Structure 1
């Protein structure tokens, strides 16, 4: 499987990424740092999206129902050389299904996520997966 994106920017302006029918605008200037996502935040967003996609994927494979899922991701930026490290996540799955095995879900997410595996090869990841019934 191969993936493709197109991105562009102009001098002293913001940039965008085109992915299929989606356009993501992101900040590259000091003026946009408080209003638009920066590349580090897009990176963490991709990590979060990978986990949420796998919740959906494994709900079918593990045969459980859920109403929604939320994830919070944080990371530390190291300075020399500049890189992300110490990524932490908390995944909350809202479900009343007794078939939901949280330990197995966490194991599957951490073993079979494309972005997750790419990231864990270069930095430390710690996470928690919780089930809430509503």
Structure 2
């Protein structure tokens, strides 16, 4: 598979990334801005999307019953050299499946995620998968 993304600078405050028929406004302002993802946040968003896509991919194969999924991610940036030092995630699954099946889902997400497996070798990447608490 080959992926194509084109990003253009709009001005000193932002840029626009395009892929297929989608557009994402990016925070490329040196001062930062609150209405767009900066590059580090975009990386974390890509990882969270990869995790959810992995869940979507394997749930039919495992015949895993799922009502919803949420991913929370935190990245810690190192200054010198600049990089993501560590990333932790929490996958929250709304499901009545047994604990062993939750572990199996987590194993599959870690094993088959493209972005997950790209980030993991160069960053301390760890996380958990848990059942959503009933309100």
Deviation at 1:50, TM superposition (A): 0.2
Aligned to 1:108: 108
Q: Give unpaired runs (5+ residues) of structure 2.
A: none
Deviation at 1:33, TM superposition (A): 2.1
Q: TM-score, normalised by structure 2?
A: 0.91
- Map Cα deviations across residues 13-41 of structure 1 (whole Å, 9 max, x no partner): 31011011110001111455222210110
Deviation at 1:98, TM superposition (A): 4.6
Greater shift, 11-20 or 63-72, is seen at 11-20
**Matched positions, count:** 134
Q: TM-score, normalised by structure 1?
A: 0.92
Aligned to 2:77: 77
Deviation at 1:80, TM superposition (A): 1.0
Matched, 1:87 2:87: yes
Q: Give unpaired runs (5+ residues) of structure 1.
A: none
C-alpha spacing 1:31/1:76, structure 2 compared with 1 (3 Å): closer
Deviation at 1:99, TM superposition (A): 9.1
CA contact (8 A) 2:10 2:16 kept: no
Q: Distance in 2 between matches of 1:100 and 1:55?
A: 15
CA contact (8 A) 1:96 1:133 kept: no
Q: Distance in 1 between matches of 2:121 and 2:93?
A: 26
Aligned to 1:126, the other structure's residue is in SS state strand
Aligned to 1:10, the other structure's residue is in SS state strand
Aligned to 1:3, the other structure's residue is in SS state coil
Aligned to 2:33: 33
Aligned to 2:121: 121
